[in-house]
Amino acid sequence: MIFPVVRRALRWLPRPGSRALTLADMEVALRGVRKILCVAEKNDAAKGIADLLSGGRMRRREGLSRFNKIYEFDYRLRGQNVTMIMTSVSGHLLAHDFQMQFRKWQSCNPLVLFEAEIEKYCPENFLDIKKTLEREARQCQVLVIWTDCDREGENIGFEIIHVCKAVKPSLQVLRARFSEITARAVQAACENLMEPDRRVSDAVDVRQELDLRIGAAFTRFQTLRLQKIFPEVLAEQLISYGSCQFPTLGFVVERFKAIQAFVPETFHKIRVTHDHRDGAVEFSWKRHRLFNHTACLVLYQLCMEDPRATVVEVRSKAKSKWRPQALDTVELEKLASRKLRINAKETMRIAEKLYTQGYISYPRTETNIFPKDLDLTALVEEQTHDPRWGPFAQSILERGGPTPRNGNKSDQAHPPIHPTKYADSLQGDEQRLYELIVRHFLACCSQDAQGQETTVEIDIAQERFVAHGLVILARNYLDVYPYDRWSEKTLPVYSRGSCFQPSTVEMVDGETSPPQLLTEADLIALMEKHGIGTDATHAEHIETIKARMYVGLTPDKRFLPGHLGMGLVEGYDSMGYEMSKPDLRAELEADLKLICEGKKDKLVVLQQQVQKYKQVFIEAMAKAQRLDEALSQYFGAGVELAQQEAIFPAVPEPVRKCPQCGKDMVLKTRKSGGFYLSCTGFPECRSAVWFPDSVLEASRDGSVCPVCQPHPVYRLKFKFKRGSLPPTMPLEFVGCVGGCDETLREILDLRFSRGPARAGQTVSQPSGHLQASQPLDRMGSSQHGHPQPALARTAPLPAAEGEGNSVTCNCGREALLLTVRKEGPNQGRQFYKCSGGGCSFFLWADSGHPEAGGPPSEAPRPPGGSLGRPPGSGKPLGGPGSPGDGGGGACCLCSQPAVTRTVQKDGPNKGRQFHTCAKPREQQCGFFQWVDENVAPARVGAPWMGVGRTAARRWVKVNDAPEGTWPLQDTQKPGHASEGAWRELSLGAHLYHLEPLGAASQPVSSGPLEAPPGQEPEEEAGGRRPEAKGPGLVPRTPGLRPRNPGSAAFATSLDTRVPSVLRTDEGRVGPRGPLPPPAAFVSGNELFLQGSFEESGCSWSVTCVLRSPGPDRSLKKATPGG
């Protein structure tokens, strides 16, 4: 049964915005409830509350955290039987911090931290507690928060709510409000459950975020700069800043500087004594003292001329010594420091322990007013058993009960600190602090000390002197409170008008003394007076400035500033900002109270404070030299720094969104050199794009790709090593890594793989790889279920004549030139290979194309080509009409400008112009292209140049094409042969598929290319007619067909099931209408697919290589060529 007086005991506790539930509300909330999850702030509190509510019949079981147990018991709540599951957290469950890319000190300029994104997460050492809450919440219907009823406790409560409702959104949430862990208090809290107060929690969120942003920015600024300037003194020193820390330091420095600046002055006064038969009496001068020696001397001489004293007044009045007010946190810290010599941090630690054990009420309170409904008599009765103060407690009860002396402060959260039960088993400082609290409580509930004060005033030569006496009539509270003293001083009996001869009249000199250094109690008093911190954080801020060596302690426990602390305060003061003064922080503390009361919006306060400190920070960085000068007075001359950038790194700019987590990806530099794109969500997200060593420079360009999604995707400026790119490509150009730029897809070898889960350490990745859950490619293959071709990096080509672009291997090193010694058809032939053995690079010296590896006798394979962009250009290079093209913009297969000639032979093509190689006939590459067509058949057998932007179709030289069947691969099961299966390809922005002509694959035979009637290229002016020679070419296009129609193997067409407008992953829409089908060729175990298409006004020639099922069943290439 809950007594009515106890029900009334908590009426004063609800905060503004915290609504107590009515009986009807409670019945609705508890309807159908079987299990209630209760969460306290600490395990000791959970154990104590569970023990009291269960009457000692709780059942303990283990949680996932060995420090936080689970206590179960049956309880009857509002007439309903429920099972209570009581557990705990260990303070704050979640922590604030910047996103991973901002956490390393060298990751960004500190200025960025004022606006950098902050995340709330569960630290690893609390994950077991979080998992326990999630597990228990799933089986409960109601969550009751039993955390401490202050700001921090309310915020911790909302952290618990966030975690539990994430796994069970339907969970009802209630708040228990209590100020002591006693049976009466916790039972009353259970019967008067309330709603949690979001506004109080918001105030804590604002303070935490501001402390993080301001503290991190200034701390990094100070530490990184001063460590470089004073490396011999501060190389290992953390130089932290806090908006409470610095004003606290400022108080110490201000007092020290006041002592330093103090100039003592000599003063003079007249002293009179009288040796009465009832005792000696000293009379003090009513003028107190004079600083003018002559004036004092004249008055003294007048007194000496007639030293007879006359009693002019005798007064007697009652005098009281007030008992102490109700005890709040600040007063407890001050008393413990002064009377017990226990510092504030240790005081609060002990008080917290006494609270969780149920010996005292909640020790963090700003209230010094006892609520009228609090049963003080019962609390006094608890103390009557002690032999030391028990009789005094009994006397309070006998004289009408406790009559506390209240103050004028109330935080509407907790009553003043008081004992809740008697303890006789405590030891050491715990016992001393408990005794202080008990004696203070009894003294507060007692009576003031009473006395009688007598004042005697005399006159000598018209100068007045007075003496005071005191007689104590009733000691009252002084009998139980030894921390106060009131001494008696008895005066002889004097009567008004009587005269006497003084024993001495003398002029004495003295000197003013400086103020003393601050004690901890003095410092706490100043912090409270100026609104620095709260009662719960004073000790923390004091300990911080001690730990940072900003201040030290003298032998008598007074604060003395160190050189570092002095230099910091003087440096900021010289900038014109009184950052060591309390005004800025006091304004914030006032705003936080208004947030709690609902009078200010938290976002408004946050924005105002961030902008205020950000502006101060910007100007502090601009005037940082003054900070250096201030510290150099204590540490000597520092190291000269030329630029601010020498200390702080540039701000990383986002390049694109991470395809895996959606956070920004930024360009970074590896420690070993080189560049890569990193997800800012690392290490939770390990997506990265590693660029090869051939990239010498990389930076973000100001232009945004109009194609890639999600916007914005910024282009990058690249500079490559000489020889790492084909001769036709510039070494510097701008490209997009969003997937639309086929140049970078091939050159950087952007193959995609999922990054591993976080394992506590970074795993280095090979160059050119992106770790992600989705490809960086913008093509729609994944959307439609079509496998994307894997890309291989374009192998480097030999330099064109007259260029310094030497041959380099896939490692980025200069390739080694060797000669074949073995007897055979290639004896004496020169070739290039990797000089370090790090890759399988191979290239015949007399051929224009590299191989991906293999012995010298292996036939070369054609790599896919792609285009680069010069810096600042948004257009591809080498398109038709480029300046300097001898053939109207076309390049031959030698990668040289083609020449334009005219057909002179009579026939349908007479007068028609075409492009051809400009070299002498015996050295020509066989290139041919009609001027009025985008594509035309070229001479068979020409070497593959790989890269170059022309409208010409690039035929592939193949040899020894075997006859046989070509089994197609199943789209859904790569590498598994199935007759008649569709094989879909993505060429550029277009989706193609290959289909067999019959139900089964047809044999492939070799044969020369035959042009249809009326399409044969005529002889040019020189009399030469381009021919298609060489075995192994079996094209199947509308205009070209094999000589033996029965040997045709493949036909190509657009998949009629695919819309004419193809939508990619990022929403790109491809061209409408039918596209010319590519041609298919067979060489060995490979199928070469070749075609061309128009896109964005440019002609593209495409070559793909499909391998037959075997050891390597993957698609080898699918990249746009010249």
Task: Look up tokens 């601010």; give the residue.
Answer: 644
- What's the CA gap between 639 and 653, in Å, rounded? 31
Q: What's the DSSP call for residue 184? A: H
Q: Please state whether the peptide bond connecting residue 1026 to the residue before it is cis, i.e. omega within 30 degrees of 0.
A: no
Q: At what angle do helices 151-167 and 127-138 cross, to 10 degrees?
A: 60
862, 855 in Cβ contact below 8 A? no
567, 246 in Cβ contact below 8 A? no
- Of 967, 973, 971, give the one whose Cα is nearest residue 983: 971
HSE-CB at 297 with a 13 A cutoff on CA atoms is 3
**Residue 826 neighbours by CB distance under 10 Å:** 15
> Catalytic residue at 550?
no
Please name every residue paired with 1080 in a beta bridge, in sequence order, or none if there are none.
1089
Distances (CA, A) of 480 to 323, 343, 393, 400, 436: 11, 24, 9, 18, 10
- What's the CA gap between 1057 and 907, in Å, rounded? 42
Catalytic residue from among 71, 300, 355, 362? 362
- What's the CA gap between 565 and 552, in Å, rounded? 10
431, 299 in Cβ contact below 8 A? no
Give the tokens for residue 53: 């509510």
- Of 938, 901, 898, 888, give the one whose Cα is nearest residue 919: 898
Q: What's the DSSP call for residue 490? A: -
- Of 1053, 1031, 1060, 1034, give the one whose Cα is nearest residue 1045: 1034
Give the tokens for residue 34: 């079987």
Contacts of 154 (CB under 8 A, 6+ apart): 147, 196, 197, 200, 201, 204
Q: Please state whether the peptide bond connecting residue 710 to the residue before it is cis, i.e. omega within 30 degrees of 0.
A: yes
At 75, which amino acid appears? Answer: Y
Contacts of 555 (CB under 8 A, 6+ apart): none
- What's the CA gap between 503 and 522, in Å, rounded? 41
Give the tokens for residue 422: 């008697």
- What's the CA gap between 1063 and 333, in Å, rounded? 70
Pairing assessment for the beta strands 559-561 and 499-500 based on DSSP bridges: unpaired
- What's the CA gap between 318 and 326, in Å, rounded? 25
> Which residues are designated catalytic?
362
